[in-house]
Amino acid sequence: MKRSSEPNYYVKKKRANMFIFIAYLVLGIYFINFSFQFVQIPEYISKFDKWVVFAGGILMLFGAINYFRVKRN
């Protein structure tokens, strides 16, 4: 019988953290590109600009809340 060094809970938490990190990364790149137009965004994606900005705003609020929750040494 194989024993896992990490319980299943931690694996799920790592996956969730990775998903949130990727969401922050994609939206951050989208916002930078939105301002400077480095890459031309296709029309079918630009139809969702309001929703992307909304999701980015929500993630920024979560980031601000987590910033204040972090314990400082």
pLDDT digits (tens, 9 = 90+) for 7-17: 676 677 778 78
Q: Is 2 within a domain?
A: no
* Domain boundaries, position 40: 8-69
16 within domain boundaries: yes
Residue-level pLDDT at 6: 56
Q: Is residue 22 part of a domain?
A: yes
The tokens for 72 are 């400082």
Q: Decide if 36 is inside a domain.
A: yes
Radius of gyration of the chain (CA): 17
pLDDT of 3 strictly over 70: no
**Helix/strand/coil percent split, the chain, to 5:** 75, 0, 25
- Give the residue-averaged pLDDT of 22-28: 86
Each residue's pLDDT tens digit, 37-68: 888 888 888 888 888 888 888 988 888 888 88
Count of domains for the chain: 1
Q: Is the pLDDT of residue 22 over 80?
A: yes
